[in-house]
Amino acid sequence: MDWLVVGLGNPGKEYALTPHNVGFMVCDSLSFLFDFDFTLKNKFKGFFGEFSLGSYKVGVLKPITYMNLSGISVGEVFSFYKIPLNRLIVIHDDVDLPLGRIKIKKNSSSGGHKGVESIIQTLSSKDFARVKIGVGREGNVRDYVLRNFKENELEIVNQAVRLSADAVVCIIKEGLNKAMNEYNSLNREVIKQ
Instruction: Extract the runs of DSSP E, i.e. beta strands, from 13-128.
Output: 39-41, 46-53, 56-63, 88-94, 102-106
Compute the distance between CA of residue 106 and CA of residue 90 in angstroms, rounded to an integer.
10
Question: Which strands sit side by side in the sheet containing 129-134, from one edge to the other?
Answer: 39-41, 46-53, 56-63, 3-7, 88-94, 129-134, 102-106
Residue 66 annotated as binding site: yes
State how beta strands 46-53 and 129-134 pair.
unpaired
Catalytic residue of the set 3, 20, 48, 128: 20
Compute the distance between CA of residue 61 and CA of residue 73 in angstroms, rounded to an integer.
8
- Is residue 20 among the annotated active site residues? yes
Residue 21 annotated as binding site: no
Residue 15 annotated as binding site: yes
Binding residues for tRNA: 15, 66, 68
Residue numbers annotated as active site: 20
Residue list, annotated binding site:
15, 66, 68
